[in-house]
Homo-oligomer: A and B are copies of this chain.
Amino acid sequence: MTIGFIGLGLMGGSFAKAIRSVHPGTVLTACDKNPSVLEDAVLDGTINTAYSPSQVKDMLALCDLVFVCLYPAAVAPFILEHQNEFKRGAVITDIAGVKVKLMQDLQSFSRSDVDIILGHPMAGSEREGYTHARADIFKGRNYIFIPLSSSKPESLQMLKNLASDIGFTRIIETTAEIHDHKIAFTSQLCHVIASALVESAEDTEITAFGGGSFEDLTRIAMINAPLWTELFIENKEDLLHHIEVFEKSLKHFKTSIENNSSGELKQSLEKVRTRRIAMARLK
């Protein structure tokens, strides 16, 4: 089996390293606009063969599975531009954090002998690039797959097996709509909150007064600005909905505090505690 990576950054690189470590015999190939990244990945033994963007056609002709690890807005254009270059029977997947628009954009994909199964590996890092790619970032994580209506069950099964091999523990299937709605909450809303919290700090010396809470809430604010700008705007309807619900909850706590409503505040916090513990069990 030959697997190809379009884009060998933090995610593509981590996938390649993770697959290399569990399936040493698999042929791994990669295409990246940065030649030094490709050189590093060949030298460290992660990939077998490197292709420059101008040679991508040669690579696609060989790959049974292609991971498109580009920024969200670049995924559909890449797949559509190269649709005639994929190997017969190939499976294409991606890692973009927003899926509804991608799904729509892929409507014009016309290869019935090639399967597209969108994917969202729920893992990452505040560090970017191949240099920070690590084989173990997927351990214990969630992986969400969104098959197209035409996807073959065996293609999905192959991806699920691979995901499980490299450490993902909770692998679910859903629709693009449900994905975007849920992710707007667990991921995009959290990044907006973390960013707003850092912005609202009086100064950067505030961490002298920190006990870990502020640090934990804002680690993800060491954000990849262009990527998250794309994600926030691409998923804006769901995200704005969740921001509004969150604002109401915040207002609810604020009002209890303003009114010295100890009893109500204590009750709300007890409920929150119980809820959060129930969520932790599901992790």
Contact = CB atoms under 8 A, between A and B. Distances in A.
Interface of A: 122-124, 141-142, 144, 170, 172, 179, 182-183, 185-187, 189-202, 204-223, 225-226, 228-230, 232-233, 236, 239-240, 242-243, 245-250, 252-254, 257-258, 260, 262, 265-273, 275-280, 282-283
Contacts of A270: 225
A190 B204 contact: no
A272 B123 contact: no
A250 B186 contact: no
Contacts of A265: 229, 232-233
Contacts of A280: 207, 215, 222
Could you tell me the dominant secondary structure of chain A's interface residues? helix
A194 B204 CA distance: 21
A196 B123 contact: no
- Chain A to chain B: the 9 pairs with minimum beta-carbon distance, closest first: A122-B211, A225-B269, A196-B249, A190-B213, A182-B209, A200-B249, A186-B214, A196-B250, A199-B249
A273 B221 contact: yes
B208 A170 contact: yes
Count chain B CB atoms within 10 A of each CB in A198, A211, A226 and give the residue with the most.
A211
A260 to B, nearest CB: 6
A124 B221 contact: no
Contact of A195 (B189, B272, B279, B282): B272
B271 A144 contact: no
A204 B122 contact: no
Contact of A232 (B194, B209, B257, B276): B257
A180 B38 CA distance: 52
Contacts of A211: 122-124, 141-142, 186-187
